[in-house]
């Protein structure tokens, strides 16, 4: 009951934030509202007992991403251009896609249901054997680093590739600027 | 932010604690919530906080760009090295059980090292992206 109340309040605040983001033209305010949205999302993850995800969302979504967007805003204009056409088609696409997604959730098993398919496959074994096999009480860590070590290696490779991509894209132009100045 | 005395003092007080919390999340991740990804972003956030308050040039003195660049690759290499080490010791790739005499200890050791690799790489990439974005300025000569 309390959880439902907290979740409803948080989701309502998120909806209000999104409406604010859509209506505002000042991009600085939009970035700050985006940060607020991430913080609300992190709180919802916390209520759902997903503390690991919540930490990541608070640090990356609300913290680092906001700083990156602000540093980008510093280089560009901070006022959104007026749209040149009526937003009816994008609105229709968004409504139809959203409706289909909501329709899709109707086919999912009930939230938190122990009978759903993902809780029947390997999850029981991880929960029962994990602490003895790995000596790690936190099952999330055991699954992430040991049972699913290959997946995590893939994830780190993706993060690494992303970082290298940013270096390649942004630094080369920076060097070009410098050499042009020297001439 | 030269004039903001309160911010500068508070930042000086907070940053060590954020870094220690990052280390806690890193090395306590096998008992409580957390792990490499979370610790990496917390450490990166602490250093970005330093840059916001004291300016990027001074942060570049504390954490030079070549260090960050090394971290980006070092974390991934540590992860792969653990995998190769377990292969050399007679197991499969990333099979930590062979790392120590006792399989459970081996698993524990492997998970700790792998999470450390994740943390190092994530912190490095986050910082690198921030350095790249914040290092670009409107006028080219204020770059340094």
In a domain, A68, yes or no: yes
Chain-chain contact of A159 with B135 (C-beta, under 8 angstroms) = no
> Same domain for A61 and A136?
no
On the question of pLDDT at B34 being above 90, the answer is: no
Of the listed ranges A4-18, A91-105, A127-141, B13-27, the least confidently predicted one is: A127-141
Which domain covers residue A39, as residue numbers?
1-80
B85 at A interface, C-beta within 8 A: no
In a domain, A14, yes or no: yes
Q: How confident is the model at residue B49 (pLDDT cuts 50, 70, 90)?
A: very high
A142 at B interface, C-beta within 8 A: yes
pLDDT tens by residue, A59-98: 888 988 999 898 888 888 777 777 778 888 988 999 999 9
d(CA B56, CA A67): 13
Which of A67, A146, A164 has the CB atom closest to B107's CB atom? A146
In a domain, A8, yes or no: yes
Among A25, A49, A80, the domain-final residue is: A80
Of the listed ranges A87-91, A117-121, B114-118, the least confidently predicted one is: A117-121
> Same domain for A9 and A67?
yes
In a domain, A159, yes or no: yes
Among A80, A106, A137, the domain-final residue is: A80
Which of B75, B103, B128 has the CB atom closest to A167's CB atom? B128
In a domain, A100, yes or no: no
In a domain, A141, yes or no: yes
Q: Residue ranges per domain, chain B?
A: 5-142
Q: What is the pLDDT of residue B141?
A: 46
User: Average of pLDDT values for B66-94?
Assistant: 89
Structure pTM?
Answer: 0.83
Q: What is the pLDDT of residue A175?
A: 52
Between residues B92 and B142, which one has the greater pLDDT?
Answer: B92
Q: Which residue, among B34, B67, B70, B102, would best test binding to A if mutated, counting the most A CBs under 10 Å from its CB?
A: B34
In a domain, A129, yes or no: yes
Q: Which residue, among A68, A141, A181, would best test binding to B if mutated, counting the most B CBs under 10 Å from its CB?
A: A141
Q: What is the pLDDT of residue B2?
A: 62
Among A80, A114, A134, the domain-final residue is: A80
Which of B31, B45, B121 has the CB atom closest to A156's CB atom? B121
User: Average of pLDDT values for A111-121?
Assistant: 78
Provide the sign of the torsion angle of the four alpha carbons B125, A167, B79, A42, taken in this order.
positive
Q: How far is A63 from chain B (nearest CA, A)?
A: 7
B43 at A interface, C-beta within 8 A: no
Q: Residues in chain B, how many?
A: 144
d(CA A107, CA A105): 5
DSSP labels, B8-45 = HHHHHHHHHHHHHHHHHHHHTTTTSS--HHHHHHHHHH
- Indicate the number of domains in chain A: 2
Which of B75, B107, B129 has the CB atom closest to A166's CB atom? B129
Complex prediction ipTM: 0.86
């Amino acid at each position: 009951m309390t959880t439902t109340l907290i979740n409803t309040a948080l989701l309502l605040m998120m909806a209000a934030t999104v409406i604010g983001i859509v209506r505002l033209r000042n991009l600085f305010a939009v970035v700050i509202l985006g940060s607020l949205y991430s913080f609300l999302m992190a709180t919802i993850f916390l209520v759902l007992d997903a503390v690991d995800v919540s930490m990541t969302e608070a640090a990356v979504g609300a913290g680092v991403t906001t700083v990156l967007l602000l540093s980008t805003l510093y280089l560009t204009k901070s006022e959104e251009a007026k749209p040149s056409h009526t937003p009816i088609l994008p609105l229709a696409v968004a409504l139809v896609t959203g409706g289909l997604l909501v329709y899709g959730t109707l086919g999912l098993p009930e939230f938190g249901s122990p009978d759903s398919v993902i809780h029947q496959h390997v999850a029981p074994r991880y929960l029962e054997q994990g602490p003895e096999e790995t000596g790690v009480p936190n099952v999330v860590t055991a699954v992430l680093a040991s049972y699913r070590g290959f997946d995590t290696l893939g994830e780190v490779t993706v993060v690494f590739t992303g970082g290298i991509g940013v270096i390649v894209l942004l630094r080369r132009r920076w060097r070009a600027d410098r050499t042009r100045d020297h001439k | 932010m030269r004039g903001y005395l309160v911010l500068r003092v508070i930042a000086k007080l907070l940053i060590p604690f954020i870094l220690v919390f990052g280390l806690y999340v890193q090395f306590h991740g096998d008992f409580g919530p957390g792990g490499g990804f979370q610790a990496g972003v917390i450490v990166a956030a602490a250093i970005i906080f330093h840059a916001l308050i004291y300016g990027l040039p001074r942060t570049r003195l504390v954490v030079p760009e070549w260090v960050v660049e090394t971290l980006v690759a070092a974390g991934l290499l540590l992860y792969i090295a653990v995998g190769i080490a377990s292969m050399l010791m007679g197991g499969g790739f990333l099979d930590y059980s062979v790392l120590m005499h006792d399989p459970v200890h081996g698993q524990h050791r492997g998970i700790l090292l792998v999470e450390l690799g994740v943390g190092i790489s994530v912190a490095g990439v986050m910082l690198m992206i921030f350095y790249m974005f914040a290092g670009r300025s409107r006028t080219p000569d204020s770059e340094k």
